[in-house]
Structure 1
């Protein structure tokens, strides 16, 4: 397996901070895309259009984080695997 892009959380469910430069790149591109959507004015005029544009971006980031995590996602209570 290649080097993971994200680490799983020690507490809770899902991924935490990015692990490699690829993960940070995904997060930065996501932040830029959401900022561009927000600055386009759709959030003020049509909040549902804003949601329709941001939801797929968020789904893509969640999928990439899930696929490129170092371990499977599950609920964690701080115990070591």
Structure 2
């Protein structure tokens, strides 16, 4: 099944949500997310684990917002389409 290149994050084949990025923009967003989590962990984790958890939650919400904005519309999929 060909992927639509206008979406940065294609829908998963099974379940609800998005799969791996479809193009360089999506990979850049995902790499930025991972880098920010790593930097936040190095800066906050030893001294303030609760602050790090809050930081990761905020980053997760922002990543979900980008996926919602630039990804395929989410819906439950059973693999047939």
Give TM class, smaller chain.
0.7 to 0.9
Structure 1's consecutive aligned runs of 4 or more residues displaced over 2 angstroms after TM superposition are none
Instruction: Name 2:24's counterpart in structure 1.
Output: 21
Instruction: Name 1:45's counterpart in structure 2.
Output: 47
- Structure 1: segments with no counterpart, 5+ residues: none
Q: CA deviation at 1:79?
A: 1.4
Structure (1 or 2) with the greater strand fraction: 1
RMSD over aligned CA atoms reads 1.3
Number of matched pairs: 77
TM-score by length of 2: 0.87
- Structure 2: segments with no counterpart, 5+ residues: none
